[in-house]
Amino acid sequence: MTDYGRFWSQRAKDLPKNPFVELLPLMKDPSAKVLCQGVPPDTTFPMQSIALTLVDGTSVTLTSEETRLAQRYPPFAWGPLREWLLKHIKQIHCPPVGLDWDVAIAAGSMSSVDLVCAAFIDRGDIVLIESFSFTASLDAFRSYGARLEPIPLDNEGMLPDALEAACLRLQANGQRAKFLYTIPVGQNPTGSTLSAERYDRIYQIARRFDLLIIEDDAYFYQQHRVRKLNAESDSGHAVKRQKLTSQDFDSTLPGLQLGISFLRLDTDGRVLRLDSFSKCLAPGFRLGWVSGARPLVAKYNALAYASSQNGCSLSMMLLGKMLETWGDEGLERHFLKLQSQLRDRCNALVKAAEDHLGELATWQRPEAGMFLWVEMKKAPRDREHLLQEMRNNGIAVLPGESCLSAPTSEQSCRYLRLSFVLPDEHYPEAMKRLATIMSCM
């Protein structure tokens, strides 16, 4: 098993033990007199009951007791959602039998990334990361003083050979990364999805160089184009091919059949998986979860005690009740709706791009997520030039510069991240405007 000692940051080491942990058994004993809590009397809580009407017609009502819990501190409110998550993770990821794993509720995925930084990063620590990555994660890592080692990726995700080479290069310098941060599915910003074979190879590299893997799988439920499985491989997103054509994809949507994850492979306990309700239900709940080896999740909870407190009780109770009311069937129906909308909108954006940007830029159609990553044939002079042109032409896309793990002047401005969350009818006009911009570069 993994020895975690070398991974913890100074902050994680210096955090005193939450004194309420040792009081908890007494606090739960109904015969005890509990005078240690700093919560206003329950009798002053303002809410009596809460009723939700869902878009699909389902009604969800919190009883007065559930409403009371929704107004208390998170440890009293997260029970139902935690139970649901334990079952869900087992069903979806089948963590290895030998892995002693746990789950913690998170105040959104960004808060998870923040607590990952808090747990592991001291200034100067090395983090391995896809050479294009999620802006806010990059910003968080940089603010914590991490040194980012970019690993190239293609349409099937991070390149294992490049990862291995980077680890060897570090080793030759007497250095070692703390963790690999990866967005394996519907990667932000490139839209790439890691092939099944690469999961295996990357996990083996993590073992060899003793790395943690932070698996940020925020777009896991947004898979909207499923690669066909062949006889050699039946456990994951994809078979290895030189070039995928439309014949390699299934016409059905995955629903809850979502394929592989690093957590599924994690015999060592070196994976901390970050999931989010933001991208598969709604960002406004500000809830996600982290799962993995118990010591990693315990440290997460310890740090959450002195910061996010694991998120909002009100959201936890409402979401817990909603998921319970839906059952797997309702959840799958919801995911199919999401996946089908994203597939259609992706098709509409790609079609409009083909119609208007064909000579001006290149891209790969993503299989998951919400983003199309576009490389312009001619780059703008600089970021301000690009922004000015966007203002002049009435279109907003994310300058790819914000997604570079190691910005270099040469390549920094030639990329754009386009999202396809708007209805179909917007894309022809949007791509026309983008073509105008690209033509005058």
Residues 259-298 vs its own copies: string with x where CB under 8 A?
Answer: -------------------xxxxxxxxxx-----------
Give the tokens for residue 341.
């909308």
223 strand-pairing partners: 368
**Number of Cβ atoms within 10 Å of the Cβ of 97:** 6
Taking CB under 8 A as the binding criterion, the range among 47-55, 173-181, 209-217, 248-256 that sits at the site for its own copies is 47-55
Cα–Cα dist 318/282, whole Å? 13
Cα–Cα dist 134/136, whole Å? 6
Residue 55 is a binding residue for its own copies (CB under 8 A): yes
Cα–Cα dist 236/196, whole Å? 5
Residue 222 is a binding residue for its own copies (CB under 8 A): yes
Identify the H or E element spanning 198: helix 196-208
Residue 419 is a binding residue for its own copies (CB under 8 A): yes
Give the one residue of 342, 361, 379, 413 binding its own copies; rule: CB under 8 A: 342
Give the one residue of 27, 165, 298, 406 binding its own copies; rule: CB under 8 A: 27
Residues that bind its own copies (rule: CB under 8 A) add up to a total of 118
Closest CB to its own copies among residues 227, 299:
299
Residue 188 is a binding residue for its own copies (CB under 8 A): yes
Residue with tokens 């699909």: 56
Closest CB to its own copies among residues 2, 71:
71
Identify the H or E element spanning 274: strand 271-276
Closest CB to its own copies among residues 143, 175:
143
Closest CB to its own copies among residues 192, 195:
192
CA angle 173, 178, 183 (to 5 degrees): 115
| Amino acid making up residue 114 | D
Give the one residue of 86, 162, 397, 441 binding its own copies; rule: CB under 8 A: 397
Closest CB to its own copies among residues 54, 168:
54
CA angle 409, 372, 188 (to 5 degrees): 70
Judged by CB under 8 A, the chain residues 108 through 167 that form the site for its own copies are 108, 110-111, 113-114, 123, 135-136, 138-140, 142-145
Of 375, 342, 294, the residue nearest 185 (C-alpha): 342
Residue 308 is a binding residue for its own copies (CB under 8 A): yes
Residue 43 is a binding residue for its own copies (CB under 8 A): yes
Quote the least distance from Cβ 50 to its own copies, whole Å.
6
Closest CB to its own copies among residues 77, 296:
77
Closest CB to its own copies among residues 183, 244:
183
Residue with tokens 């690669």: 227
The separation between the first and the last C-alpha atoms of the chain, rounded to the nearest angstrom, is: 54
Residue 385 is a binding residue for its own copies (CB under 8 A): no
Cα–Cα dist 277/289, whole Å? 8
CA angle 361, 362, 365 (to 5 degrees): 135
